[in-house]
């Protein structure tokens, strides 16, 4: 279903569903004279499709990213964050980066088993794994699927370091595993807090945990001795950028010891999805938002150059960076450079069922 609309969809972030860039044809609404174009469209319900994978660890060599290994238990994300730079990845499934991304989810139920086999190989070299860097491992369907918990159980057994970024307080469900891993300096967790305004959050990221719940998760994680940070990301000009200092202060008050920010990124079809959303929900300032973004991207809405894609360039981007430096220094964020310890790694047993026979 390819939807183009100027009306918000209840409980969803995107308001449109543009054709993916790999598709040879698209569908546009057309009034045939019978008035059907004005009829209510079928609701966008969440569907979950199992995705069998042979490999679960993805590698990258991007110089602006602080990790080279990552795991994504899910493709697509039910949180519905309209600004999510991962949206265009859904087009590899022949789907849209708009409403499809947040309603047609692909889950990898065998991810823990595949991970176990990978880590058990004698050739495997332990390096920290990042999670939550593409789609959120703690999105709503994780409550019943438990794929993320299964992955953490394998990593804990193998004493393998992992860094997690999430918008969900569901991370607290796994506090027992995370606490155990933190004893060997094997885990870091960061909560992404985009705004403290619940009304703005409801529009930008409709199915993510409320800002107050994310701050409470920071407090409880930090209280448990788990190194915890905050990502004020993404910063969107004239939407939530004014909140940067308040977000970092609120997180630091609750025990966050590290922080970061990213300027909104709009690759590929995400530009159209974001602009449709912007003109629907913030028509009074849409042109100004887009103008400010272009000022940070050399006149375009996105620049993929790794040197500027996360922070932008130009006066506005420079000011945003200086603001972050000042507030982070005042709060003592990033004062200590944490390095997760990979020296405790041990190859896990290949077949946990067979291992159980010998553990009796």
Domains of the chain by residue range:
61-69+112-333
Q: Which fold has domain 61-69+112-333?
A: pyruvate-formate lyase- activating enzyme (3.80.30)
Confidence class for position 352, pLDDT limits 50, 70, 90: low
DSSP 8-state secondary structure symbol assigned to residue 136: -
**Residue 13 pLDDT exceeds 80:** yes
* CA distances to 30, 106, 138, 208, 226 from 148, in Å: 43, 14, 7, 17, 18
**Residue 163 is encoded by which pair of tokens?**
């860094």
Cβ neighbours for 38, distance < 8 A, ≥ 6 positions apart = none
Q: What is the pLDDT of residues 125-162, one digit of tens each?
A: 999 999 998 999 999 999 999 999 999 999 999 999 99
**Residue 1 pLDDT exceeds 90:** no
Q: What is the pLDDT of residues 91-131, one digit of tens each?
A: 999 999 999 999 999 999 999 999 999 999 999 999 999 99
- DSSP string for 37-95: GGSPPPP---EEEE---S--EEE---TTSS-SEEE-SEES-TT--TT-TTGGGGGGGT-
Beta strands in 109-257 (DSSP E): 129-131, 162-166, 187-192, 228-235
pLDDT of residue 338: 85
The single residue listed with the structure tokens 């998760």 is 217
Confidence class for position 20, pLDDT limits 50, 70, 90: low
pLDDT of residue 11: 82
**Residue 355 pLDDT exceeds 50:** no
Strongest mean pLDDT among 4-18, 26-40, 42-56? 42-56
**Residue 268 is encoded by which pair of tokens?**
């590929």
Average pLDDT over residues 200-209: 96
* Residues constituting the chain: 360
DSSP 8-state secondary structure symbol assigned to residue 231: E
pLDDT of residue 64: 82
Average pLDDT over residues 257-269: 97
Burial of residue 113 (CB within 10 Å: 0-12, 13-18, 19+) is middle
Q: Is there a contact between 177 and 202 (Cβ–Cβ < 8 Å)? A: no
**Residue 348 pLDDT exceeds 80:** yes
Beta strands in the chain (DSSP E): 47-50, 57-59, 69-71, 74-75, 104-107, 129-131, 162-166, 187-192, 228-235, 258-263
Lowest mean pLDDT among 13-27, 283-297, 341-355: 13-27
**Average pLDDT over all residues of the chain:** 90
The single residue listed with the structure tokens 């620049």 is 303
pLDDT of residue 243: 98
pLDDT of residue 273: 97
SS3 132: coil
Percentage of residues of the chain with pLDDT beyond 90: 80
Confidence class for position 6, pLDDT limits 50, 70, 90: low
Crossing angle of helices 244-253 and 315-331, in 10° steps, is 20
Lowest mean pLDDT among 19-33, 68-82, 190-204, 248-262: 19-33
Burial of residue 145 (CB within 10 Å: 0-12, 13-18, 19+) is buried
Conformational region of residue 272, where left means phi above 0, alpha means psi within -120 to 50, and beta covers everything else: alpha
Cα distance from N-terminal residue to C-terminal residue, the chain: 54
């Amino acid at each position: 279903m390819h939807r183009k609309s100027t009306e918000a969809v209840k409980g969803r972030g995107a308001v449109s569903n543009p054709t993916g860039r790999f598709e040879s044809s698209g569908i546009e609404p057309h009034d045939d004279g019978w008035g059907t174009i004005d009829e209510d469209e079928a609701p966008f319900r969440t569907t979950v499709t199992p995705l069998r994978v042979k490999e679960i660890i993805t590698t990258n060599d991007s110089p602006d990213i602080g990790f080279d290994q990552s795991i994504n238990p899910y493709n697509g994300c039910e949180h519905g964050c309209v600004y999510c730079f991962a949206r265009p990845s859904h087009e590899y499934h022949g789907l849209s980066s708009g409403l499809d991304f947040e309603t047609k989810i692909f889950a990898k139920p065998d991810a823990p088993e595949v991970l176990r086999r990978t880590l058990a190989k004698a050739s495997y070299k332990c390096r920290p794994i990042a999670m939550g860097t593409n789609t959120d491992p703690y999105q709503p369907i994780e409550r019943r699927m438990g794929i993320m918990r299964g992955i953490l159980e394998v990593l804990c057994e193998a004493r393998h370091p992992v860094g997690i970024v999430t918008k969900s307080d569901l991370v607290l469900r796994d506090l027992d595993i995370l606490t155990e891993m933190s004893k060997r300096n094997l885990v870091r967790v960061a909560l992404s807090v985009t705004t403290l305004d619940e009304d703005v959050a409801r529009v930008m990221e409709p199915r993510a945990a409320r800002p107050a719940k994310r701050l409470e998760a920071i407090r409880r994680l930090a209280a448990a001795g788990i190194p915890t940070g905050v990502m004020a990301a993404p910063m969107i000009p004239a939407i939530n950028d004014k909140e940067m200092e308040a977000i970092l202060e609120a997180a630091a008050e609750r025990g966050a010891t590290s922080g970061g920010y990213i300027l909104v990124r709009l690759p590929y079809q995400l530009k159209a999805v974001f602009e449709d959303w912007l003109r629907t929900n913030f028509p009074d300032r849409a042109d100004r938002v887009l103008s400010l973004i272009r000022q940070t991207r050399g006149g375009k809405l996105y620049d993929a150059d790794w040197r500027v894609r996360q922070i932008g360039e130009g006066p506005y981007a420079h000011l945003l960076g200086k603001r972050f430096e000042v507030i982070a220094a005042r709060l003592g964020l990033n004062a200590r450079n944490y390095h997760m310890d990979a020296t405790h790694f041990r190859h896990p047993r290949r077949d946990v069922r067979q291992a159980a026979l010998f553990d009796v």
